[in-house]
Amino acid sequence: QLDLIDEYKITVSPVLIGKGLPLFQGLKEKINLKLIENKTFDSGAIGLVYQTVR
């Protein structure tokens, strides 16, 4: 909410756990993100890097 984060690094692992886990609860407004990097690991996980768009 204070616009202090410049970059988000998220790893998505191919595991089913039911309902899933919400990453961003309680946001009052939409945050625009741009995908700047992605990587696929041997385990099947995917690494994603997003920058905020101001």
pLDDT tens digits along 1-54: 677 889 999 999 887 777 777 777 888 888 899 999 999 999 999 999 999 998
> Residue 48 class from Cβ within 10 Å (0-12 exposed, 13-18 middle, 19+ buried)?
middle
- The model carries a pTM of 0.76
Task: List, in order, residues 6 or more apart from 16 with CB less than 8 Å away.
Answer: none
